[in-house]
Structure 1
Amino acid sequence: MKYHQIAPSVDIPKIGLGTWGMGGKQIEDRRWDEEHVMAIKMAIDLGLTHIDTAEYYGAGHCEELVGEAIQFYPRDSIFLTTKVWRTHLHYEDLIKSMRGSLRRLGQDYVDLFLVHWPNYRVPLEETMGALEECVREGYTRYIGVSNYSANLLNEAQSLLEDNSLVANQVEFSLLEQKPRTNLLPYMQETERTLIAYSPLGRGILPGLDREVLSSIAEKYDKTKAQVALNWVISHENVIAVPKSSNPIHLMEFMDSLGWEMNLEDMMMLSSSFI
């Protein structure tokens, strides 16, 4: 397993598990609960111990499934991330959401608490103040954001008194390379982590008939999904949280680690998908 330092003395896997769609999308769906709990447990057993969820997923039911799965493991063996939805960014609303997430997860704290999306109708200072209160209360070890631009992230950080925003979770893949222009350089310069969601291009890349991707996969004796995922995590300060409840795909994620493409192939992939 390859690790990344997300905070001082805190190393987490370069690849974790995203959980969007588990337990439903915008509304709760319990039809596949057993399958989803088993998938989360299998991911952890394989070493994908960073579990990413959110109060929005399945209207909170996803957090319940994550909580059910991780109860079987020592708490310090899991790095748990959840997110507060953009309609809950006023001070009291955010604190209430944090407590609700902890209740559904069955935990006393999470490792990382993110603002899921910006909300320009809520003063940023108010939201940042609430995040710091969550740290003071012991509800979360670290705080961060999601879907923030470099400028907005910099502004948010300037409003914090005692904490750093350690991560920004954004969509990043061969099909979505915008973060490479401004955001990723900023994250690297300020020693923050970019957490890539949808690193497989929302599931499109594994089945995409693109000669460059296919030939590089053949060259390294890997699948197209493994090449695409390896391309993402090969960037400095980047980790990824692909989502799957399929055991075969989870094992495939693991084989995205432990090897490297040469610079020429990395550049060829990058330019072929712009």
Structure 2
Amino acid sequence: MKDLMDDGLVRAIGICDVDGALLEELLRQRRRPHIIQNWMDPFHQDREVRRRCREEGIQYQAYSSLGSQWVHFRGYGSNNPVLEHPVLREIAALRQRTVPQVVLNWAVVHHGAAVIPASTSAERQRSNLDSFGFELSLAEVARIDSLDGILDAAVDAVFDNMGRPQHHVLHSEL
């Protein structure tokens, strides 16, 4: 990589799934990253990595901002907690917007994250682009900010069902 950068063939480095320790290691390198891509949504806000990126002039890019991590990898099935949470639904209704529009506005406008919401639906793509034509109040931003970690504290319990496979139960305060 050093040779490619020295030869001008690579001008910027981007890295994903970076925790605080890895970010500190990367910051000690001669060639520092230009962009860090990490999971960020209202329940998993990645505050420390975002803070360090901001201090170091590194662009923070959020993936799974609309909750797909909870659905695909955290055991929530089709019950996306980001799209279904009452606080987010209430703010969206008051603003006459969708929950995705509120969440994207919160992430980009109020926290400076670049976002990459994925959709194959042209209607959803247009809706996502319409996420910036309104202003969330500071109180609304604070309400969304207060959701950080409420799902991370889920309890993982294993029950033995007398010969059946084990079942994992996730509990959260939705």
TM-score by length of 2: 0.71
- Measure the CA separation in 2 of the matches of 1:173 and 1:267: 14
Shift of 1:188: 1.2
Q: 1:249 to 1:143 in 2, by over 3 A?
A: same
Cα deviations across residues 134-190 of structure 1 (Å, max 9, x unaligned)? 333444331121111233122123222xx331111000001322x11x211111111
Aligned residues: 139
Identical pairs, percent:
26
State the 1:262 CA deviation. 1.0
**RMSD of Structure 2 on Structure 1 (CA):** 2.0
199 and 207 in structure 1: CA distance in 2 versus 1, 3 angstrom threshold: closer
- CA deviation map 1:92-133 (0-9, x unaligned): xxxxxxxxxxxxxxxxxxxxxxxxxxxxxxxxxxxxxx2x33
The residue aligned with 1:172 is 40
Asked if the contact 1:187–1:237 (Cα under 8 Å) also holds between the matched residues in 2, the reply is: no
- Report the Cα distance in structure 2 between the residues aligned to 1:248 and 1:205, rounded to whole angstroms: 22
CA contact (8 A) 2:40 2:65 kept: yes
CA distance in 2: counterparts of 1:137 and 1:242, whole angstroms: 34
Kindly indicate whether the alpha-carbon contact (under 8 Å) linking 1:216 and 1:265 is maintained by their aligned counterparts in 2.
yes
Equivalent in the alignment of 1:134: 4
Specify the alignment match of 1:18 in structure 2.
Answer: none
In structure 2, do the counterparts of structure 1 residues 213 and 236 end up closer, same or farther at CA, with 3 Å as the change threshold?
closer
Q: Helix, strand or coil: the match of 1:187?
A: helix
Where 2:90 maps in the other structure, the secondary structure is: helix
Structure-1 separation of matches of 2:134 and 2:99: 14
CA–CA separation in structure 2 for the residues paired with 1:175 and 1:150: 18
Secondary structure at 2:24 match in 1: helix
The reply to whether residue 243 of structure 1 matches residue 111 of structure 2 is: no
The structure with more helix, counted as a fraction of residues: 1
TM-score (norm 1): 0.47
User: Aligned in 2, Cα 1:207/1:218: closer, same or farther, shift over 3 Å?
Assistant: same
Could you tell me which runs of 5 or more consecutive residues in structure 2 were left unpaired when the two chains were aligned. 72-79, 151-174
